């Protein structure tokens, strides 16, 4: 059995200087190579022809614009593409808009209706409405409020209170008409002697009964005559 030993000693100053000089020479050669390669690449790039703008391309087809509609689906509200306008060529498909695009089945469409909002505050009370008074006289200054109306049913005058005063707005009753023409006097009443027994008309819903007198007539039917 043998044992090997590796002995390492510190380099002398002369040896250390030689090692540093060797490394510096190797790095210098490496840097010179890199510089040469870079110069060659730059020379090749400079020799390449410069790019110029090409000719303008032809215009493409006009794009399609969707016409949207809101569709009710029970409590849901979904968006549908009703049709396409403004484009060239065959239009895209129509249908309901869902997370994966346009669908034919409304069940897969996205519900765009949000949840109900909070209840708003109760609004302030409105102003009192106007009152229409109907009396047989004209109104007094201290009666009624601004905007109220007053009808004098005896004279037909109609008033409205404006800026604290009652103003006559119209007359609902026209002027008295002319007196009518007197009617003709009635003539004397003549009492005629009693006549013979006339014919009578009997009403029924079947054939006439036996009996009766000469000249009688029976009307048969139900409901008003036509």
- 23-38 pLDDT, tens per residue? 877 776 677 777 777 8
Q: Is residue 146 part of a domain?
A: yes
Q: Is residue 27 part of a domain?
A: no
Other beta carbons within 10 angstroms of residue 138's beta carbon come to 14
Q: How far apart are CA 42 and CA 36, in angstroms?
A: 10
| Overall number of domains in the chain | 2
Pair 69, 101 in one domain? yes
- pTM recorded for the entire structure: 0.33
Max alpha carbon distance in the chain (Å)? 184
Residue 50 has pLDDT above 90, yes or no: no
The answer to whether 159 and 166 are in contact (CB under 8 A) is yes
- What's the domain range around 140? 132-171
Q: Is residue 43 part of a domain?
A: no
Q: Is residue 99 part of a domain?
A: yes
Pair 103, 137 in one domain? no
Q: Which residues of 104-135 are buried (b: 16+ CB within 10 A; e: fewer)?
A: eebeebeeeeeeeeeeeeeeeeeeeeeeeeee
Q: How far apart are CA 167 and CA 147, in angstroms?
A: 11
Closest to 133 (Cα-Cα) out of 123, 112, 147? 147
Q: Is residue 86 part of a domain?
A: yes
Closest to 95 (Cα-Cα) out of 76, 74, 69, 63? 69
Helix, strand, or coil (residue 66): strand
Q: Is residue 90 part of a domain?
A: yes
For residues 190-194, average pLDDT: 60
Q: Is residue 24 part of a domain?
A: no
Point out the least confidently predicted range of 74-88, 161-175, 209-223: 209-223
Of 121, 153, 171, the domain-final residue: 171
Q: Is residue 79 part of a domain?
A: yes
């Amino acid at each position: 059995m043998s044992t090997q030993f590796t002995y390492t000693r510190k380099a002398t100053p002369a040896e250390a200087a030689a090692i540093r000089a060797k490394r510096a020479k190797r790095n210098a050669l490496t840097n010179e190579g890199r510089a040469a390669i870079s110069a060659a690449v730059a020379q090749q790039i400079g020799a390449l022809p410069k790019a110029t703008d090409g000719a303008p391309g032809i215009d493409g087809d006009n794009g399609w614009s969707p016409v949207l509609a809101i569709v009710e689906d029970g409590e849901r509200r979904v968006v549908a593409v009703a049709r396409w306008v403004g484009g060239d060529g065959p239009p895209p498909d129509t249908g309901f808009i869902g997370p994966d695009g346009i669908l034919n089945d409304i069940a897969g469409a996205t519900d765009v209706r949000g949840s109900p909002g909070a209840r708003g505050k109760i609004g302030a009370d409105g102003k009192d409405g106007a009152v229409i008074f109907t009396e047989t006289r004209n109104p007094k200054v201290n009666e009624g409020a601004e905007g109220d109306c007053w009808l004098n049913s005896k004279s037909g005058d109609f008033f409205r209170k404006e800026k604290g005063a009652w103003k006559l707005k119209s007359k609902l009753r026209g002027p008295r008409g002319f007196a009518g023409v007197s009617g003709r006097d009635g003539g004397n009443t003549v009492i005629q002697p009693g006549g013979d027994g006339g014919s009578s008309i009997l009403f029924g819903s079947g054939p006439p009964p036996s009996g009766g007198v000469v000249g009688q007539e029976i009307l048969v039917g139900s409901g008003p005559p036509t």
